[in-house]
Structure 1
Amino acid sequence: MPHTSRAEKSSKSCNEDRISALPDDVLHHVLGFLPADEAVHTCLLARRWRCLWKSMRRLRINEMGRWGVSTGGLFLIKFVSCLLLLRDPGSTLDEVEIKYDHHFEDDLTWISTWIHHALSCQTQVLTVKFPLPVYVPRYLDGPPLVSRYLRRLEISEGRLKSNFLNFSSCSTLEDLKIKDCDLDASSILSQSVKHLSIKDCFFKDDVRINISVPNLVLLQLKSCGGRTPFLENMLSLETAVVSSEIWSVDYCHKGFFAGECCGTCLDCCGNDGLKGGCVLLGGLSRAKNLELIAHPGMVNLPIFPS
């Protein structure tokens, strides 16, 4: 029998492409950990990898600094648009992450297009982060989101209007997290959300926002400024954690210096027909576990049902 040396066996083993021999599902899982551009670049590895990126189940549009400052955003818009256009139309997306830190004239239009395209691919988990500069007045609006598959949505560092906060057409959305956002909206609507977290956000101070999430189980409303939102009755609420900020519009500044609420200023009485009532605690009256953190001078007049 021909004799094969240990060195020859070792050399043959090193040249063997074992990764490419893995099933498509495993390779798609691996690609899902890479930024979108690096995942596409794997098409150069071998014939086996040429089209794998077109059907990967997790898409990460992030690490935007790598695209440069001057023309990177424009190139990124073209790249992502081509990426979505060339994807396998029959392939669904389990998770999509969009982190966009450039600012051009039509950037929010493109972001909105990417979001709606992701939802059309049956995305279950969507994360959106776009820290636009404070001097950019544009808000993410457009038509309401529509999906029968979206389960979790996380939005941070954005400016949102009412249409984007209308989740009544996302029938399976249960986990909603909003952080570091400006909410220029009259309402947040959802029949399906069970876990709602709003942190470090600013509600517009001219009209009180209405939060209508009747099936909510867990609520976190922490460190938000602007006018205190009105919470509709939440019959299923089990746990609520609410803390106010000193720059809240409903904070009685006169009462702070006097040592008690003055009861007559705009911060105490409001200008939206809710004078003398409790806009916040009334919606929390069903909670089994309630944690409240308020500053001195904050007006809290709970009216609990008997």
Structure 2
Amino acid sequence: MEGQQQTRKKGKNSAEMLDRLGDLPDSIIHHILSLMPTEYAVRTCVLSKKWRHHWTHVHSLNFKWDTFGGAYYSRPRYSRGRANKFERFVRHVLRCRQPFKLRRLKFHGSRNLRLRNRVFNYALLHRVKELVTDIYDFPPRFLESQTLRTLKFKPLYMLRLPSPFGFAALTTLQLERIALASADIFSSCLKLEDLLLINCSLEVEDFNISAPQLINLTISDLRNYWLEGDRRNKLLITAPTLKVLYFRGTYPLLLSMNTFKDLDKVSIQMYPSYYCRHNRDNWKQECISDIQRMAEELSHVKSLTISVDACKESNKAKVV
């Protein structure tokens, strides 16, 4: 008897909770569903007749291969059958969703080129504002998007991006695991205000970050490999409106900055690469000279921190 009563109470509580959610304004329900993985948002259609079409009004879409089906799968466990289910699900959502503007799209893991093109063309048609993805081979038309404001790109493996990158309307760009192999990769992103480079590698001798409207620049764990003889990588930052700069990377990278009148906060942390510690006998003297030069260039900054870990290379840098 007690067990039956507890079961009834649980069922009653669940029904009351469902009623409370159902009593919310439709706009709030649609917003809540937009924050969920799209797979779970679609499942709410079985709750009741009233909930049958709520998911079609979401303003954001979240498709992720690794978690599709309710469990985590790594890429080596790829199967054609499961891929077909994922692709059919994505096409069903794109076909049934109401034709509202798309605020955010998260799309990860699909190997199907036709599906990728369909998803990105759908996003372009519905004027997407924010994209989070691990896929880099965008359709050419998508690169010309005039509505995309935020792009967060994190591929599974280190890769090179085409140059110029495209996306002229971007204001926020986050790149992770990218080989910076072209000096003009950001030349088309003239409206950038926030730029984050995480775990990237510098593969050209001179690299220039030129962004006339850049305000915040974060570079975390930048590695440089152009170390033949006494040659050094050079990173030049040209951003007249820059206010906050955070940099962490391997020495002997030569960091050079034009005079920035609006800089409020600068944090520079360097640590010697393995090559530097074992093949450059005078690297400590060079480093001291570089610190003096940077301190003179940035003497007007309100908050300035320059530090060098001379003991060992660390791989535990995090974005701040």
Q: How much does 1:236 deviate? A: 0.8
Partner of 1:259: 281
2:90 corresponds, among 75, 80, 95, to 80
Q: How much does 1:216 deviate? A: 0.9
Give the letter for the 2:219 counterpart: L
Could you tell me the TM-score, scaled by structure 1's length?
A: 0.65
Q: Find the aligned partners of 2:144 and 2:300 in 1 and give their Cα distance.
A: 30
Q: How much does 1:146 deviate? A: 3.4
Deviations 1:156-201 (A, max 9, x none): 1353522573232x1xx32221123344545123111111110111
Partner of 2:195: 196
Q: Find the aligned partners of 2:160 and 2:282 in 1 and give their Cα distance.
A: 35
Deviations 1:198-235 (A, max 9, x none): 011124x2575543312111111121224546435211
Deviations 1:111-132 (A, max 9, x none): 45424432432333322246xx
Name the CA shift for 1:294/1:78 in 2 (closer, same or farther; >3 Å): farther
Q: Find the aligned partners of 1:127 and 1:55 in 2 and give their Cα distance.
A: 20
Give the letter for the 1:212 counterpart: S
Aligned pairs for 1:1-306 within 5 A: 17-62=19-64, 64-67=66-69, 69=77, 70-71=79-80, 72-89=82-99, 91-100=100-109, 104=111, 106-107=112-113, 110-111=115-116, 113-129=118-134, 140-143=137-140, 145-157=143-155, 159-162=159-162, 165-168=165-168, 170=169, 173-186=170-183, 187-189=185-187, 190-203=189-202, 205=203, 208-226=206-224, 228=233, 230-231=235-236, 233-245=238-250, 253=275, 256-261=278-283, 288=301, 291-292=305-306
Alpha-carbon contact 2:161-2:178 (below 8 Å) kept: no
Q: Find the aligned partners of 2:299 and 2:117 in 1 and give their Cα distance.
A: 36
Greater mean deviation of Cα atoms: 225-234 or 40-49: 225-234
- Classify the secondary structure of the residue corresponding to 1:223: strand
Alpha-carbon contact 1:188-1:209 (below 8 Å) kept: no
- Classify the secondary structure of the residue corresponding to 1:145: helix
Name the CA shift for 1:235/1:243 in 2 (closer, same or farther; >3 Å): same
Name the CA shift for 1:51/1:17 in 2 (closer, same or farther; >3 Å): same
Deviations 1:128-153 (A, max 9, x none): 246xxxxxxxx535426334433322
Give the letter for the 1:117 counterpart: Y
Q: Find the aligned partners of 1:246 and 1:66 in 2 and give their Cα distance.
A: 42
Give the letter for the 1:33 counterpart: L
Alpha-carbon contact 2:209-2:238 (below 8 Å) kept: no
Seq. identity, %: 21
RMSD between aligned residues: 4.0
Name the CA shift for 1:123/1:142 in 2 (closer, same or farther; >3 Å): closer
Q: How much does 1:38 deviate? A: 1.6
Name the CA shift for 1:161/1:285 in 2 (closer, same or farther; >3 Å): farther
Alpha-carbon contact 2:218-2:247 (below 8 Å) kept: yes
List alignment gaps of at least 5 residues for structure 2: 1-11, 227-232, 256-272, 285-293, 311-320
Deviations 1:249-293 (A, max 9, x none): 99794685442159xxxxxxxxxxxxxxxxxx7xx8798355555
Q: Find the aligned partners of 1:160 and 1:287 in 2 and give their Cα distance.
A: 36
Give the letter for the 1:54 counterpart: T
Alpha-carbon contact 1:141-1:163 (below 8 Å) kept: no
Alpha-carbon contact 1:61-1:99 (below 8 Å) kept: yes
Name the CA shift for 1:183/1:55 in 2 (closer, same or farther; >3 Å): farther
- Classify the secondary structure of the residue corresponding to 1:224: strand
Could you tell me the TM-score, scaled by structure 2's length?
A: 0.63
Q: Find the aligned partners of 2:191 and 2:277 in 1 and give their Cα distance.
A: 39
